[in-house]
Structure 1
Amino acid sequence: MSIDVAFAPLIPLWALIALGLAGAAAAALCVVGRTRGAWLRTGAIACLLLALANPSFTREDRETLTNVLPVVIDRSGSQTLDRRNVQTDEVRKQLEARLSGLKDTEIRWIEAGQDGTATDGTELFAALRNGLADVPPERVAGALFVTDGVIHDLPASARDLGFQAPVHGLITGRPDERDRRVALTLSPRFGIVGQSQRIGFRVDEVGAGLGRPVPVTVRRDGEAIERIEVVPGQVTTIEAPIAHPGVNFIEIEAEDAGQEITTVNNRAVVPIDGVREKLRVLLVSGEPHAGERTWRNLLKADASVDLVHFTILRPPEKQDGTPINELSLIAFPTRELFSQKINEFDLIIFDRYARQGILPIIYFDNIARYVRDGGAVLVAGGPDYSEPGSLYETPLAPVLPAEPMGGVIERAFKAELSEVGRKHPVTRGLPGSEQNPPNWAPWFRMVDSRLREGEAVLQGPEERPLLVLAREEKGRVALLLSDHAWLWARGFDGGGPHVDLLRRLSHWLMKEPDLEEEALRAKAVGKTVTLERQTLKHEAAPVTVTLPGGSTREVQLNREEPGLWRATFETPELGLHRAADGTFSTLVNVGPPNPREFTEVASTDRRLGPIAAATGGSVRRVEPEPGATIDVPRIVQVSAGARAFGSDWIGVREAEASVVRGIGILPVFAGVLGLLLLIGAFAVTWAREGR
C-alpha cells in the first residue's frame, strides 16, 4: 500500500498561479511593513490558495506482478553434432533445478528448431520474440540461451531486444573443435548449354593443425570433372561446363581434414539452370505442297527456334532456257549448309524431299556423320520416300529406321498409338488418344514400309509403322511416313493434335530432357521428394536415395500411367539427395542449396557476446575443457542496474512491476473539514486584528 498527495485545482491553473503571486506579494508587504498579525494573514492566504488547489490524499493498494524469464533451448541441426544435444539436455535438467527457487518469477521454456533442421539458419531471437509476445517489457527478468552460439538472427543492438534486462548465453560444444568448410564467393544461376560458367569459392578452416593445401573435387551431376588443390582462405575460381538444359548440379567438395565435427559443410552445391541459345533448324522442302507451311508455321511460332527454310522450286529437270541472271530465285547454298555449317544446326528436316541431283551424294555422307556425332534428322515423307530417288537410296539409308516396301497405301485410316507409343513421352497422352480408335481426323496416304530399328510410336492400317523414332550412336532420327499431317492443322473432320505431336517430336529430336523415353527424375516441394521414372519397360526398379548425411533408403515406385512410375516420400534432411536405380541416377536439392545451418558449425561464444555485454549479461561455455563436468552457474535475483554475473553465478532482474488492485481518495478541503479549516484561519486573523 502507498499514500500520495494529489491536486485537482478548482479554478484554471493560470488563475491559481496569478492569485498565488498576488497573495505572496500581499503577504510580503505585511511582513516587511511589520503589520500586526502579518504571519496570521499569510497563513490565511495560504489556506485559501490551498483550498483552491483542492489537495487530496490518495491511497493505492498494489499487487506485485511476477517476472517472466524465458529460457531459449537451441534444437537446430548444428546442435545434433558432436554430442551437443546431450550437453543441452543436461544443462536444461540443471536449469530446471536452479530456477525452481526463484521468487515471483515465471519460467518460460522456448525450444527453437525442434525438428533438428532449419531452412535458413538458427533463429533464436525470433523464437524469443514469439515467446514474449504477451509479456510487457517491464516484466522481463532477462533471457537465457542454451545454444552452440551459431545464431543467424542476432539483433543489431540491445535496443532491438524490446526489453532492458540481462541476456546470458550457455554455450554447448567444445573449445578445441576442428572444421573445414567450402564457402561460395561467386555462384551463377544460369548458363548457356555448351558453354562454361565461372564459380568462385574459398576453403575456410577452424582448429589447430590445419592450413596446408587442400585437395578439392569438382563434380557435375555427380560425376567428377576436375581435381585441384587450393590454399585455405584464398578465393579460387573454376570454369564449370554447362552440359544440358535444366538444372546442372555443380558440387565442390574439399577433402576431410580428419576429426572434424562434421563433413556436411565440406561440400557446396551450385545449381545452374542450363538454357539453350536459339535452336537452329534447317527445313528443306523438296517441292511445294499442301502441308509445306504446316512445319514452317509451327517452327516459326516457337520463339526459341531460329528457322532456315528452303523450298526446291526449280529442280534441274525443269530447265526452260531462262538466263540465270534473270531468275529471281535464290540458289540453294548446298556446300555452305551441308559441308561448312552443318554442325551449327540442331535439327535438319527433309519435308517430301527426293534426290533430284541438287545435293551431291557426298553431302548425304556428311548428314549421316552429323547424326552419329549427335545431330538430329527428321524425314517427313510422302510418295517420294517409296519412289526412285528416295532418301533411302542415298548414304543416309543406314541411319533411317524404316525401309520402304515400294508401295503407297492410299485410303482413309486413323493414326493410332502403338503399345510403345502409349508409353513414349512424345505421344503419351495426346489429346483424343484416350479413345480407341483415337478421336482424330483420318489421313488418306502413307508409305508402306518395314521397321528396321527404333520404335514405331504411331501406326496405321494393319499396324504398319507410321511414326518411327530411333537413336543412331549420339544422334536421333525420326521418320514420319505420311504427308497428310496438314489435314489435322487445317481442321479437316475435326482435325487432330498436330501442334502437340509435331512440337514434341521436334523437341525430342533436339534432346529436350522432359521428353526422354528412359529417365529418372526427382523434384522437391518443401521436404516432400517426388521420384519419377519414365520407361518403355514393363517394370520400374526400386530407387535407392542417398541422403546428404550419407544414410540411404529404398523407395518402391508405383505405376501412374503407361510408361510413367512415381513415388513420394518425406525426407528428414536438407541438402543434396542422390537417387539411383542401377541404370539411371539423378540429383535433387531439398531446401536451400547450402543451408546456413550447416555452413558454419563450430561452436562459438563470440556472436552472442556483444549483445550479452550490452545488457549486462555474460556468455560462458557449459564444458570449458574437454571432458569437464557440466556445471550450470547459480541463478541469482538482482535489482535493476546491479551487476548481473560473477565467476560462478548469473543474475536475473527482481520482480518490480505491480498492478493497482484498489484506490482511496480523501480530499483535504472538501466538506466540513475544509470549511472548518478556512473559518478557523480567518477567525484567528480577525481576532488578532481586533486587539
Structure 2
Amino acid sequence: PTFHPVEVGEEAELRFKLSHAGANVVELSVDPGPEELTLRNNRTALMVNGVRDRLRVLLVSGEPHPGERTWRNLLKADPGVDMVHFTILRPPEKQDGTPVDELSLISFPTRELFSIKLHEFDLIIFDRYKRRGVLPFTYFDNIANYVDQGGALLVAAGPAFASGESLYRTPLAIVFPAQPTGRIRTGGFRPQLTDLGARHPVTETLPGANSFADDGGALDPPRWGRWFRFIETEQLDGKMLLSAPDGAPLLLLDEVGEGRVAQLLSDHSWLWARGFDGGGPQAELLRRLAHWLMKEPDLEEENLYAEYEAGEILIERRSVNLSDVPVLVEFPDGHSQLVEMMPVTPGKWRAQIEAQQPGIYHLRDGRRSTIVAAGDANPVEFADVRATENQLAPVVAASGGAAVWLRADGVPDIRRVGPGRDMAGQGWVGLRENRQYLVAALEQHSLLPALLMLLLIAAAIGFAWRSEGR
C-alpha cells in the first residue's frame, strides 16, 4: 500500500501506477478517527481499466533466416506494437569499398537503443543472435540489469547458441534458466507439453497439444507439425513448458528479480506458421508468451480472482502446484470465513459464496490476495452517519415534525394530537391520532351455551314471580 497525506475537507488529486493492463481494483481507505460512529465508510473501491498505450518491442536478429520474416509479420500485424528491428546484414569484419554516401543502409544507433533508451522498451527479443563484435559486453550487462529491474526478455535460440559465439557467453548468462551443452539435436519431432505445461496458462489450451490423465499419465500425443532442430541445454532454473519427446527442454520461463525471461530453444517454430506438416499455433503461443512477459493477470500461474455478480461472489484460484488451499474471505463488517475451493481442472479451483452485505471483500489464499466490491462499497446510508439538522431536514419536513436535541432540550413530552394539528411545540412532540384502521377479520363467540342461558333466564323469571307473589 501507498500512503498519501490528505487534509480533512479538502479535495486532493492522487496519482498511482497500475501494475498491469486490464481490470485493476484500487482500494482507498483512511485510518479510524478518535470518535468514529462506524468504520463502514472509511474505505471505498474503484475499478480502473488499464490500457497499454503501445507495446514497444526491440527485435534483435542475427543472420537472415526463414523465421525472421515470421517474427516481423507477427509483430507488425498488431497495431498496438511499436517495433524497432535491429538486424546484422554485414558483420564488422566484412568490408567493401562502397563509399559511405552511396550506402542504402545507415549506421544503427546501438548506443542510443542499448544504453540511453533501453528502459523505454517493454520487451526485448533476440532471434538467432550470436556475438559478432557488434554489441559490446557493456550493452549485454545493461540488458541483464534491465531484466532484473522489471524488463522482459525473449530468446529464440539458433545453432549459434551452442557455439563459442553464444549469448550464454555474455553477461546475459545470469538471467538464462538453461545453459547450452554444446550439442545441436536434429531430426523430426513434435514438441509436447510437459505435465507443468498442461497446467500453465501460457500453454494449457494450445490447440493440437498432447493431453494428460488426472494421474499425470499421457493420453493423446500432440497433433501439430514437426520441428527438426533444437539446442540441447541443461535446465538450471525456471519452469519447462515444452519439451522434446525425450524430455529435453524446448520452452522455459523464469522470473529474474522484478523481470521475466523466456527461452525458446529451437529456431523452427516458424514451420508452424507456414503450415508445414499440419502447422501449429505459433502466433497464439508467441502472443501468450509476450503477455506473460508483460505480467498480464490472465496468464499468471499463481492467481486469485474474484468477481461480484447477481448477489454472489465468484472466486477462482489458479496454481501450478496441485495443492488444495482454502481461501480466507474477510467480509465488510470485519468477520472472516474460510471457503473451500472445488477443483475444476488440474491447477484451477472455483467457489461461490453469497454476498451477505454490500461493501468491500478481502480474499487471501496465503500467497495471493485480491479485493472485490459487492454492490455499493460505500452505501448512501453510511456515507455520513452524523445526525445534523441539514441531514434530517428532508425527513422532518416530510413528516411535519420537529428535530429535538436531547442534550440541549431534554426529553420532550409525548402528546396525542388530531389530524391537521401542530406536531411539535415548546417541550413536546405530537403523536398523530389518525383513527385509521382496517378490519381484517371478525369472529363472534357466545358467552354461554344457549341451553344454559335459557335455564338461567327461566330461573330468574321464576324467582321474580315468586318474590312478587309474596
* Fold agreement, TM-score > 0.5: yes
**Separation of aligned partners in 2, 1:540 and 1:235:** 46
Match of 1:447 among 222, 228, 231: 231
Cross-structure match for 2:303: 519
Q: Distance in 1 between matches of 2:165 and 2:17?
A: 43
Please, which moves more after superposition, 539-548 or 643-652?
643-652
Residue number in structure 1 paired with 2:431: 649
2:309 partner letter: V
SS, match of residue 287 in structure 2: helix
2:29 pairs with one of 252, 273, 279: 252
- Relative contact order, higher structure (CA 8 A, sep 6+): 1
Partner of 2:173: 397
Higher Rg of the two aligned structures: 1
Alpha-carbon spacing, 1:416–1:261, altered in 2? closer, same or farther (3 Å): same
Query: In the TM superposition, what whole-angstrom CA distance separates every residue of 1:312-371 from its partner, at most 9, and x where no partner exists?
Result: 211224333323222212322211111111111111101111111111122111111211
| 2:375 aligned with 1:591 | yes
d(CA) in 2 for partners of 1:270 and 1:644? 47
- Is residue 344 of structure 2 the alignment partner of residue 560 of structure 1? yes
Amino acid at match of 2:139: Y
Q: Show the 5 A alignment for 1:26-425.
A: 223=1, 225-226=2-3, 228=5, 230=7, 232-245=8-21, 246-258=23-35, 260-425=36-201
Give RMSD over aligned pairs: 2.8
Query: What's 2:290 paired with?
Result: 506
| Residues 409 and 631 (structure 1), Cα distance of their counterparts in 2 relative to 1, 3 Å cut | farther
Query: What number of residue pairs does the alignment pair up?
Result: 423
Whether the 8 Å CA contact 1:256–1:266 is kept in 2: the answer is no
Query: 208, 219, 229: which one pairs with 1:432?
Result: 208
Offset of 1:643 from its aligned partner? 4.0
Residue pair 1:605, 1:620 contacting (<8 A) in 2 also = no
Question: By how many angstroms is 1:248 displaced?
Answer: 4.3
8 Å Cα contact 2:254/2:260 also seen in 1: yes
Aligned partner of 1:618 in structure 2 is 400
**Compared CA separation, residues 644 and 236, structure 1 to 2 (3 A):** same
User: Aligned to 2:280, which of 480, 484, 496?
Assistant: 496
For the Cα contact (< 8 Å) 1:244–1:274, is it kept in 2? yes
Question: Take 1:325 and 1:587, find their aligned partners in 2: how far apart are those partners?
Answer: 61
* Aligned partner letter, 1:592: D
Q: Is the 8 A contact 1:622 1:632 kept in 2?
A: no
Q: How big is the shift at 1:552? A: 0.5
Residues 316/517 of structure 1: CA separation in 2 closer, same or farther (3 Å cut): same
Alpha-carbon distance between aligned partners in 2 of 1:443 and 1:429, rounded to the nearest angstrom: 20
One-letter amino acid of the counterpart of residue 618, structure 1: G
Give, as a single letter, the amino acid of the residue that structure 2 aligns with 1:506. A
* Residue 539 in structure 1 maps to residue 315 in structure 2: no
- Alpha-carbon distance change, 546 to 633 in structure 1, aligned in 2, over 3 angstroms: farther
Q: Any conservation in 1 of the 2:63–2:129 contact (CA below 8 Å)?
A: yes
Stretches of structure 2 lacking an aligned partner (at least 5 in a row): 212-219, 438-470
Contact in 1 for aligned 2:192/2:210 (Cα 8 Å): no
- Whole-Å Cα distance in 1 between the matches of residues 414 and 312 of structure 2? 40
Q: Distance between the aligned counterparts of 1:613 and 1:588, measured in 2?
A: 39
- Give the residue type in structure 2 aligned to 1:273: N
CA–CA separation in structure 2 for the residues paired with 1:489 and 1:650: 84
Query: CA 1:437 to 1:422, structure 2 compared with 1: closer, same or farther past 3 Å?
Result: same
Query: Would you say the 8 A contact 1:316–1:358 is kept in 2?
Result: yes
Amino acid at match of 1:414: R
Cα shift readout 1:485-541 (whole Å, capped 9, x = no counterpart) = 111111223211112110000111122222122222222213311222221212032
Query: What's the offset of the Cα at 1:254?
Result: 3.9
Residue 276 of structure 1: SS of its match in structure 2?
coil
The alpha-carbon distance between structure 1 residues 323 and 593, as it changes in their structure 2 partners (threshold 3 A), is: farther
Aligned to 1:56: none
Alpha-carbon distance, 1:421 to partner: 0.6
Report the residue type matching 1:419 in the other structure. Answer: D
1:394, CA displacement in angstroms? 1.6
How does 1:464-475 map onto structure 2 within 5 Å? 464-475=248-259
Task: Give the drift of 1:570.
Answer: 1.1
Which residues of structure 1 form unaligned runs of 5+? 1-222, 656-691
Alpha-carbon displacement from aligned partner over 1:552-584 (angstroms, at most 9, x marks no partner): 111112221122222221121211111112222
Query: 1:458 aligned to 242, 247, 254, which one?
Result: 242
Distance in 2, Cα, partners of 1:449 & 1:415: 15
Contact 2:132 2:165 in 1 (8 A): yes
Alpha-carbon spacing, 1:623–1:364, altered in 2? closer, same or farther (3 Å): same
Does the CA contact (< 8 Å) of 1:446 and 1:482 recur in 2? Answer: yes
Aligned to 1:577: 361
What is the CA deviation profile of residues 269-312 of structure 1, one whole-angstrom value per residue up to 9, with x for unaligned ones? 34433333312110011122111122222222223321111222
Structure 1-normalised TM-score?
A: 0.57
Instruction: Tell me the equivalent position of 1:668.
Output: none
**What SS class does the counterpart of residue 482 from structure 1 fall into?**
coil
Residue 293 to residue 351, structure 1, CA distance change in 2 (3 Å): same
User: Is residue 410–residue 446 contact of structure 1 (8 Å, CA) maintained in 2?
Assistant: yes
CA separation in 1, counterparts of 2:413 and 2:350? Answer: 53
Query: In the superposition, relative to structure 1, how do residues 303 and 595 fare at CA in structure 2: closer, same or farther (>3 Å)?
Result: farther
The answer for the alignment partner of 2:451 in structure 1 is none
Q: Give CA deviations for 1:230-261 in whole Å, capped at 9, x if unaligned.
A: 3x433344443434433141413142333x33
* Structure 1 residue 228, shift from structure 2 partner: 2.9
- The DSSP-based 3-state class of the residue aligned with 1:431 is coil
Q: 1:304 to 1:250 in 2, by over 3 A?
A: farther
Question: Which residue identity does 2:298 align to in structure 1?
Answer: D
One of 380, 386, 408 as aligned partner of 1:602: 386
Match of 1:173 in 2: none
Alignment check: 8 A CA contact 2:40 2:378 kept: no
- Aligned 8 A contact 2:402 2:423 in 1: no
Alignment check: 8 A CA contact 1:315 1:356 kept: yes
Percent identical across equivalent pairs? 49
- Paired residues of 1:522 and 1:587 also in contact (CA < 8 A): yes
- The 2-side partners of 1:397 and 1:486 are apart by 25
Q: Which amino acid aligns with 1:302?
A: D
- More displaced 10-residue stretch of structure 1: 247-256 or 476-485: 247-256
The residue type paired with residue 512 of structure 1 is E
Other structure's SS at 1:265 match: coil
Distance (whole Å) between structure 2 residues aligned to residue 483 and residue 630 of structure 1: 89
Q: Which residue of 1 aligns with 2:265?
A: 481
- Structure 1 residue 434, shift from structure 2 partner: 5.3
What SS does structure 2 have at the residue aligned with 1:462? Answer: coil
Shift of 1:400: 1.2
Distance in 2, matches of 1:498 and 1:631, equals 84
Q: Contact 1:542–1:556 (CA<8 Å) still a contact in 2?
A: yes
Conserved 8 A contact 2:202-2:285: yes
**Distance verdict in 2 for CA 1:467–1:635, change over 3 Å:** farther
